[in-house]
Each structure stands twice: as C-alpha cells, then as structure tokens.
Amino acid sequence: MYDVAVIGAGPYGLSVAAHAAAAGMRTKVFGRVMESWRDHMPAGMFLKSEPWASNLSDPAGARTLARYGAEAGFPAEHGSPLPIGAFTDYGLWFARHTVPGPDERTVTRVSAGGDGFTVGTVDGDTVRARTVVVAVGVLPFVRIPGPLAKLPREYVTHSTGHRDLSGFRDRDVTVVGAGQAALETAVLLAEGGARPVLVARAHGVNWNTVPVPEDRPLVRRLRTPLSGLGSGWRSWIYSELPWAVRRLPDARREHIARTALGPAGAWWLRERYEGRIPELLAHRIRGARLHRDRIRLALDAPDGPVTVDTGHIVAATGFTPDLDRLTLLDARLRTRLTRVGTGRAPELSASFESSCPGLFFAGLLSAPAFGPSMRFVHGATYTAPQVTAGIRRHLRPTRRTPLVPAPHRPAPGTRRERVRKG
C-alpha cells in the first residue's frame, strides 16, 4: 500500500509529490506530466506570471525555473516573458529529478474504505493508498456559457481545446472573454491568418502594467510590494498569506474567489492586440444557433440587440471549481464532502485536507478556501509543504516508523521528567 497517491502531474501534483517523496513517503503519481501545458495551450503562447513566481516546489528550493533556464541556455528573468514551451520543459525536468516514475494512466475512480483509498485506472487496475491528493488541474472545470454549451463541439470549443490554431486560417472566429487566454488566443489567430472578433461582457479590456523593478528603494517596496501575483498590498496578501484568506467568513472567501484578480491582459501583449483585433465589448450572449453551417449569435449590446454570424467560437471563459464535475471521485465520497459556504468547492483544513480524513485537494479546487493564489502556479509553493505536513499527521498512527523524529523527552532524573512521572 502506498502512503500517498497523487492524482495529477501538473505543477501542484508534481510539487506535492516532490515533498512527499523527500519526506520518505511511498508515493504514487498518476497523470501525464504537464499535460495541460503540453497539450492544451496553443503554440506561441507565453507565460503570464514572472519566472520567479512560476517555480515548482521541492523541499530544498533547488529545482527553480531560473536554474533550469541556466542549464538549458535561456534567461528566466524578471520582466522577460517566457514561452510556454520553455515552462513545459522545465516541468518535465523537475519531474525527472524529484518525482518517482509518474504513472501516465488515467484515474477513473477514487473510493474510500478500510484503512485508506482505492484508486482505479482506465485499464481496470487498482492501487491502494492511505491518503490521496487530488491535483487534477483545470481541465475538468472548463466553463462554457450556457447559450453556447448546447452547440456541437465542432462549432464551439474552449480555449484549452487547442494546441494548434493553424486550422482556422482564413476563417471567421469569435473569441469570447476578456482575460489573457481570450486576448492572446485572438492575437495568435490573427497572426496565423484567421479573422478573429473578440466578444466580451466587459466594457473595456484591462491591461496589467509593466512589472515594477525588483531592486527598488525601501520606501517604494513598502508602498508597492511585489508578490507572485503582482504588485500592491492586496495582491501581496493573496500571494503570501493564503492561511489568512482561509480564516475569513465563507461568504467573503466565495466573493474573493469569484472577483479577485479578474480578467486582464499581460502588458507585453498589448501592442500586438490594440488596433488589430476587432472588439464587441459590453455585449452579452443571449442565444446561439446553427444557421447554414455557421453560428448565429444573438447579442445584447448597449444600443440594442446585435446579430453576429461566425464560423467558430472559442470560449476563453475560464473555469468553475466544482466537485460535482470531479466524476473520478466515487459519488458517495463526493456527496459527503463539506463545501465552502453555498459553493461547490471543498472546505479544507489548514493542510488542505477535506472533511474525509486522508483526502486532500490542491490547485483550483482549493481557491475558494485559500484564495486566488491557488489559481496560479505560484500557489504550489505554499500548498506542497502544507499538504505534506497534513499527510504526515494522518499517517503517524499507522506507520511503524515515524515520518518525523519522535518528540524530545526530558532526560531521566531531571525536574521535568519527575513532574511528568508524578
């Protein structure tokens, strides 16, 4: 029996597995390493976060993106956008050095019983583990707006559904959304010969500012601190104090999860976008239907209804953390989990443990509990050691050899020892 089975081999799963393996736990990792980054992001995209805020986490803090860049021969520097491909290669390098042989089979079922969990794979095999960490990334939680959800997938796709956008050359494509995924997808479509139009409910496109320098006078650093989620005190709190967010009332946490760090484009994309991508801002999708092998969109605009015909729609509309979509969890196990407030995400302890002892969640599903940093790679640096500590506590009564040193006992004959015996 394994001490821990980690479901998912993206930044969060790899980071947790690196810490667990280094702690001497018998660790099993399931998933295609860096799958979302390798297979579900168009070629030509860049990492939005700063390289120093995109490190995966190992206990020694040695396997950083900067170190990999130095070995691979490229700079990973503050203020320099990094290609997604380079970050993907970093994740593969990290896995080779820190994680015991990932098992790329798809997990189809996780159930609780006896002294742990049963993990079933797509080929019918099963593995037993005392604890399970669910770190499945964002793919199970893609969100497509209601009016578009019923259209055939050959006409409507999510932004994560494309590795190669070249097939849209000379075609009309409507991109829905106003965040980085929507803006960069529209740019890549245009640069690849397609005819994109951006449709968004927002009245304007928000752009992140050029990052402040790392080396600044103390007064400026205090006035505008720099964090893994950007600059400013609010971003710093979300980035550096997830434990404080978790202590807020449920309604407040749910509000933060929905609204904090909203849609915005990276500063380096702005020149490639503005004046080149047609926009329909402040437009809401009221309906959509097929018409002569095209999609007819009914939009509500400030000046009245608008109709748009398009050949394809890419919904860059984000993700919804929802336990009910996590069908790999046994239905009985899923329904017994306590949720955050009125939402669909699991309530978690300080060590990311759910109300089912031994079942932990990392990544997007933990954002309503710990805040928006869990939507970004940067959150893995906080998550991994906390989860590993929680696994230690869960395993301690069942292991013959403790995973941590035994508590210090006073020497025989000392006052503290006499008091203890008395």
Domain boundaries, the chain: 2-141+319-398, 146-207+264-315
CATH topology of domain 146-207+264-315: FAD/NAD(P)-binding domain (3.50.50)
Q: Report which of 174, 230, 172 is spatially closest to residue 375, judged by C-alpha positions.
A: 230
Q: Can you list the positions of beta strands (E) in 38-84?
A: 46-47, 82-83
Q: What's the confidence (pLDDT) of residue 335?
A: 92
The pTM of the full predicted model, rounded to 2 decimals, is 0.90
pLDDT for 90 beyond 60: yes
Q: Integer distance in angstroms from the first to the last C-alpha of the chain?
A: 41
- pLDDT interval class at 377 (50, 70, 90): very high
pLDDT for 82 beyond 90: yes
Q: What's the confidence (pLDDT) of residue 259?
A: 87
Q: What is the pLDDT of residues 318-332, one digit of tens each?
A: 999 999 999 999 999
- pLDDT interval class at 96 (50, 70, 90): very high
Rg, Å, the chain Cα set? 23
Task: Tell me the CATH number of domain 2-141+319-398, given options 3.40.50.620, 3.50.50.60, 2.40.110.10, 3.30.200.20.
Answer: 3.50.50.60
Provide the residue type at 265 as one letter: G
pLDDT for 184 beyond 50: yes
pLDDT for 417 beyond 80: no
- pLDDT interval class at 410 (50, 70, 90): very low
2-141+319-398 and 146-207+264-315: identical CATH topology:
yes
Entry field: residues in the chain: 422
**Sheet strand arrangement including 156-158:** 156-158, 312-315, 172-176, 195-199, 279-280
Please tell me the distance from the alpha carbon of residue 193 to that of residue 9, in angstroms, as a whole number.
34
Please tell me the distance from the alpha carbon of residue 146 to that of residue 285, in angstroms, as a whole number.
9
Q: What's the confidence (pLDDT) of residue 298?
A: 96
pLDDT for 258 beyond 70: yes
Mean per-residue pLDDT, 248-252: 92
